[in-house]
Amino acid sequence: MTKRGMTAEDLYQLKYASDPQLSPDGRTVVYVETSIDEEHAYRNHLYVRELAAAEPRALTTGAVRDTYPRWSPDGSQLSFVSKRSGTSQVWLMDATGGEPRQLTFCKAGASTPIWSPDGRYIAFSALLDRGETFHDREGEGEKKATAPKVIHVERMKYKSDDHGYLYEKTRQLALVDVQSGEITALTDGPYHHTVGSWSPDGQWLAITANRTENPDMQHSLDVYLIPIAGGEWKKLTSSNGTFFYPTWSADGKKLAYIGSVSETYLNATQKKVWVYDLESGQQTCVTADWDVQIGDSTIGDVRSPGHPNPGAVWTEDGSALYVIVSERGNSGIYRVSLGGEATRIVGGNRNVYGFTFHEQQQTVIAAISDPLIPGDLYQIDLTTGAERRLTELNRDFFADVELSVPEEIEFTAQDGWNVHGWILKPVGYQPGEKYPLVLQIHGGPHSMYGNTFFHEFQLLAAKGYAVLYTNPRGSFGYGERFMQACCGDYGGKDYLDLMSAVDYACAQFDFVDESRLGVAGGSYGGLMTNWIVGQTNRFKAGVTDRSICNWMSFYGVSDIGYYFSAEEIQANPFTNPEKMWHHSPIRLVANMETPLLIMHGEQDHRCPIDQAEQLYITLKHQGKAPVSFVRFPGASHELSRSGDPEQRVLRLQYTADWFATYMEPKVPSLQQ
């Protein structure tokens, strides 16, 4: 049977599994299946799979978004987060199914439910406005609500690309009684708090928070212990770094967390595993000698970012921890002893983005993607190493679709550093034919391309393009020195890495048509696309998404601008404006002759749309042509990953059409 290539509209057909959670007895896993329905709306449904059974069973169905399932300690109930009432709230249901019961009614919603060890309470978090309490209920006062006449802002961090305009809202924590629904507040004040985990005896809750004197300027994130019965908090870290996901050892004597200590870099420091001994008060970095990134740093465009991170998961005897590690375009699961010895448990050329572990059953359930699989669940037997695939969500769809398999490449940049990446041949590739090539540049810059599914790349391959994607200096996965090498040097050696990648592809692969090159990227990738077309006319077309063009203005309009610029550009507008201007692509507009498509979300708080507006107007005013500007109303910085599905499809269509206009690909015959 002749297969067809990927289309933009195929986004509506793709599914993936995430957030697996094993039951207390280790015999059943609950997980989230994400899809897009006939109305082009996201749907999240909960499924359970008894590991001895042949098929999973749906727990929730219909026009709902149900996420974050968590078992009660006795395995009889499941808590989860759902928007079925209008805002995200905590719900409960019987583990065998049935009608769910709403547990929280917080005005702005609730999230991250964590069961107490005795099953009596659930800790959760909620955004509260100034003067608001957990007892202000969802929907109250909505009929009388009107747009405010004025908003008085006093904080620097008053907006977020994740949550929009926060103004005076802060994330607070509370307990809810599972039976009565009574809520007890645990935190307050002008600080954000994130729930972590309960101590085994149920007496303490480990959380993270920035409770420094000036959270706008001091960007540390500390680990605290809150006594459930009331009393003085215990602060475990020293406000000299950022720490996340605290987890208790089974005996309650130690706490593990992921994070980094750094006075120089906030974003460009690798995360490591730390253990705090509660008896001695000693904090130890157990991966201090391991030059890798703890956690999944892989960039993809099918699964939305922000999947629940299991953190460091303890073995029952407290001698070791299981963690996800990112290295050389792959992410896998490692067992790390308290002495720092690391053993890979789940590896290969793929992307592990979540897992759950059960010691007695010696079982890991991992959520895994690779270049041909958007995201499925696998069971790994830790005794034998045997692996079994539990889901195959896109089997029927892919039966009719031809995918391109990436080829791994490694080359030497101009100054001798090694750079790693991949190239996709066009779908329907024929030896002896010449094909246009698109260089794709990831965002971050501290993230990494890797062995994961990428819908956009497969679409371009189906349209007749070779696709080149690499991890230039600044990327995770190749050690901390490599990751920090772009700081203060945006458009320097990272630019040369990208150009070396193109030189390598043109020299190494005879199917690449050197006269038909395109370049595209989003966020940092958009910045570098802007920079590249200001440095060279080598490319026939460029597509820049949610980009930065002017570091001077970015400083004041981005939700992270004032501190991100200081770290990444190592300058600010007052002490070194010349350096900020030097690294701004808008400075190079006079050199820009490449046809450029500019796309941006109107509600992007990370790289606000003024960046696109400046570039577009300047190019137009200077008579640079052709340039086109596409705006996406309501879209945030996550447009291409978790944005409105129809906008995501339109974005892909605009991208493909722009390259087709200026690069004339030969569409494979199988698509006719």
Integer Cα distance of 440 and 568 in angstroms: 21
Ramachandran class of 326: left when φ > 0, alpha when ψ lies in -120 to 50, beta otherwise = beta
Residues 551, 557, 559: CA angle, nearest 5 degrees: 105
How far is residue 513's CA from residue 505's CA, in Å, rounded to a whole number?
10
- Answer for the pair 6, 670: CB distance below 8 angstroms, yes or no: no
Given 523, 547, 558, 640, the catalytic residue: 523
Please state, in angstroms and rounded to a whole number, the distance separating the CA atoms of residues 417 and 477: 15
| Contact indicator for 322, 335 with CB cutoff of 8 Å | yes
501 sits in which H/E element: helix 493-508
Angle subtended at Cα 196 by Cα 193 and Cα 201, rounded to the nearest 5 degrees: 125
Kindly report the backbone phi and psi dihedral angles of residue 161, in degrees, each rounded to the nearest multiple of 5, phi listed first. -65, -25
Closest CA to 303 of 33, 113, 499, 581: 33
* Residue 669 zone, left/alpha/beta (φ > 0; ψ -120 to 50; rest): alpha
Rounded-to-integer distance, Cα 354 and Cα 370, Å: 14
- DSSP H helices in 583-667: 610-621, 639-642, 645-663
Task: Determine how many CB atoms are found less than 10 A away from the CB of residue 114.
Answer: 20
Q: Name the active-site residue from 358, 446, 600, 637.
A: 637
Residue 499: both structure tokens together: 């150009």
Three-class HEC string of 443-459: CCCCCECCCCCCHHHHH
523 is catalytic: yes
CA 416-420-423 angle, to 5 degrees, is 125
By annotation, the residues acting in catalysis are: 523, 637
